Amino acid sequence: MTVTETVSLRALSLPARAIIAVAVGALAAFFTWHMAAVFLFVSPSNTVREENFDRIRGYIYPEFEQNWKLFAPNPLQRDEAVHVRAQVTEPDGSLRTTDWINLTATDIDNIRHHLLPSHSAQNLLRRGWDFYDGAHDDEGRPIGERGRLSELYVHRIALQRLQDEHDMDLDTVRRVQLRSAVSRVPAPEWREEEIDTSTYYDEIDWWVVTSDDLEGIAR
């Protein structure tokens, strides 16, 4: 029979008690700050929130982002993927256009069966595309500086993925094109409604790859 012996804090040495007290205090302070930051991040506008929002936002993103779509009255009912293709220079100097590459599918494959996938692996491309889509009008024109910044952002993501995931030499890439592929989620078996699950594509114009696009990409 195994007897578990408990040790009173008073039986510990003074340095040991001091270390435990500091550790407990640090954990309590972190927990208090974390709960306060999350509360202020999702709370309605108030003086404390507005005065400290930059600090709160910097703490929350990206690891503790709050997203309530799971509980929304109108959850997302479509699948959206981002595809890319490139025009590359062959060794003989001719130009070749690659097939469309499903970047979203590659991301899903990389995180499937991964116990602890990183936040960026799950959301970098998705959030980048949302940023791009929200910063352009219905005609595909950029809305102010945010629109131009979103273009640079998704261009770099696409080039980085072509290099890292598909072993493409970026020095041979002359132009790149992106498109979205959207399809409705089919109705569950118990619903009688028929939903068109065809995939619809929205292509963005080709863009010429410049040195600015390659700037900052690990080569």
Query: Mind listing the pLDDT tens digit for each residue in 46-59?
Result: 888 888 888 888 88
Residues contacting 41, CB < 8 A, separation 6+: 49, 56, 57, 60, 66
Q: Where are the beta strands (DSSP E) in 91-184?
A: 95-97, 101-102, 173-184
Q: Are residues 82 and 61 in the same domain?
A: no
User: 120 and 22 share a domain?
Assistant: no
Provide the phi-psi class of 114: left if phi over 0, else alpha when psi is between -120 and 50, else beta. Answer: beta
205 and 97, same structural domain?
yes
- Does 1 fall in a domain? no
Query: Is 71 among the domain residues?
Result: no
Do 199 and 114 fall into the same domain? yes
Residue 85 and residue 17 share a domain:
no
pTM over 0.75: no
| 172-189 confidence digits (pLDDT tens) | 999 999 999 999 888 778
Tell me how long the chain is.
Answer: 219
3-state secondary structure of 45: coil
Does one domain contain both 20 and 57?
Answer: yes
Instruction: Let me know whether 111 and 92 are in one domain.
Output: yes
How many other C-beta atoms can be found within 10 angstroms of the C-beta atom of residue 164? Answer: 12
User: Do 114 and 198 fall within a single domain?
Assistant: yes
* Higher-scoring residue by pLDDT: 3, 191: 191
Which structural domain range is residue 118 located in?
76-214
Of 40, 66, 92, the residue that ends a domain is 66
Q: How many domains does the chain have?
A: 2
